[in-house]
Structure 1
């Protein structure tokens, strides 16, 4: 969605042998997969893939049945693409974003919608033999606590968790949630971690900022060392994806320093 295909070759500069691929329309996806085959890289997929012109924000827990169906169709299409290309996994978002409470909605009704959608996803995952990982997104006043996510993963063992550090940080700022407690409680279900950083201000301007040791929590950034420590505390096995986007004016040295910093953090947990 925000990638620059002319820079594909830079993806291997840091020694990475696995990518996460998502949001590309069909023609661009073909170019990406040619690069992947040429470099003999492993890969997972992120919904939507391929992205249709009509793609909208994911709505797995939306009260609107048509929106939920559209999101499920997108995930099914991405899973079929993953089967075609033998991807390691598929990532989708949970829950739907709801900024403020709405009349007629409560935690019980949103959980029922989540269980219904996730029951279908779990069934598809088992049929395909490919894990579907659900990534935390927000805000949603009815579904943001670790206990809500845990209830889903306990009910559907075929589904696993993708911790998005930036989304967690912004949700914590919005709700007062303890991000370290959240990451620790969901650690047993965590297979994947999306690493980038954000403040309230930078997210709207640059989307995902490359993680870097200069980003201090007291300045509004996510506390990446402590979130990682919590997330990895009981994770049996975990892949870290550097998910920054290209808008932020960072040079190669800044990006490389951040990558090496996160690697050291992960290896010392």
Structure 2
């Protein structure tokens, strides 16, 4: 059994609902919550948030007791890899049943990935082959979230090279993870964003000054001069190449306070301005 092959702490489900621009994304809920979530989604869709995505695992099956961000696609142990593919297929089955627009999955997980660059490349290629096959089987696109915490497979251009081979696959650009990855590997954040933009299909937006690894809600008071991610520059780069990218605010909010709404409105108006300027050059 995989539990005998690798030791990771067990974790309760995160149960995160992430709002977006005309969109909602569910991540890591227990299976017994699905009926309630169906009603939640219908209520949100009636208010304009009709776009839907599942972030694997969704829901979390009983056979996977680890944190929802855990994956073994680049692990050298075949039984662990198969556990992650089983998890992904379970998510795709539910996404198909709900008629979701796409799912999001991680490819890398630094804690368990191989440290051999050649093996990492081979495992990543095989994983994308299988992602594409599963995507076709369930007729649900798969977006691979860019995260650069692995030592053997972390370059933006390598993600792009892989994903560009498959029409079923796209990239989910996560602003916070991209910033942390750039710092970790001493790269320029905007260079990575520029490389990823060509294959972007969705974005996870949150802010950080990289002092704490926390998903800070967006707000117009967050100035790049004070160390925050420059969201306007980021969105201009991505939307110049993929103006239909889905936007998800990746911080769970129970109640949309005025400050949270200001952040939503800030990004929505920013994107409207970017698209207008692009279309009226």
TM over 0.5: yes
| Counterpart residue number, 2:41 | 36
Conserved 8 A contact 1:125-1:132: yes
Gaps of 5+ in 1: none
Trace 1:164-183 onto structure 2 (pairs within 5 A).
164-183=174-193
Trace 1:108-119 onto structure 2 (pairs within 5 A).
108-119=118-129
**Does residue 50 of the first structure (1) align with residue 59 of the second (2)?**
yes
Residue 169 (structure 1) shift: 0.9
| Counterpart residue number, 2:152 | 142
Trace 1:206-221 onto structure 2 (pairs within 5 A).
207-221=214-228
Conserved 8 A contact 1:48-1:78: yes
Residue 245 (structure 1) shift: 3.0
What does the per-residue CA deviation read over 1:68-92, in whole Å, with 9 as the maximum and x for residues that have no partner? 2211111110001111111111100
Residue 212 (structure 1) shift: 1.5
Residue 133 (structure 1) shift: 0.5
Q: Give the TM-score, by structure 2 length.
A: 0.81
Q: What is the alpha-carbon distance in structure 2 between the residues aligned to residue 209 and residue 51 of structure 1?
A: 25
Residues paired across the two proteins, number: 254
Select the structure with the greater relative contact order (CA < 8 A; seq sep ≥ 6): 2
Gaps of 5+ in 2: 1-12, 275-281
Aligned to 2:219, the other structure's residue is in SS state coil
Conserved 8 A contact 1:188-1:236: no
| Counterpart residue number, 2:245 | 238
Larger mean Cα displacement after TM superposition, 210-219 or 72-81: 210-219
Q: What is the alpha-carbon distance in structure 1 between the residues aligned to residue 16 and residue 104 of structure 2?
A: 21
Cα RMSD (Å): 2.6
Q: What is the alpha-carbon distance in structure 2 between the residues aligned to residue 81 and residue 225 of structure 1?
A: 35
Residue 233 (structure 1) shift: 2.0
Aligned to 2:135, the other structure's residue is in SS state helix
Aligned to 1:44, the other structure's residue is in SS state strand
Structure-2 change in CA distance of 1:144 and 1:4 (3 Å): closer
Trace 1:9-24 onto structure 2 (pairs within 5 A).
17-24=22-29
Structure-2 change in CA distance of 1:20 and 1:37 (3 Å): same
Conserved 8 A contact 2:16-2:252: no
Match of 2:230 among 223, 228, 239: 223
Residue 121 (structure 1) shift: 0.8
Q: Give the TM-score, by structure 1 length.
A: 0.85
**Does residue 159 of the first structure (1) align with residue 172 of the second (2)?**
no
What does the per-residue CA deviation read over 1:206-254, in whole Å, with 9 as the maximum and x for residues that have no partner? x31111222233544322222222222211521111111359xx98122
Match of 1:61 among 66, 71, 74: 74
Structure-2 change in CA distance of 1:217 and 1:142 (3 Å): farther
**Does residue 267 of the first structure (1) align with residue 257 of the second (2)?**
no
Q: What is the alpha-carbon distance in structure 2 between the residues aligned to residue 262 and residue 117 of structure 1?
A: 33
| Counterpart residue number, 1:105 | 115
Q: What is the alpha-carbon distance in structure 1 between the residues aligned to residue 185 and residue 37 of structure 2?
A: 38
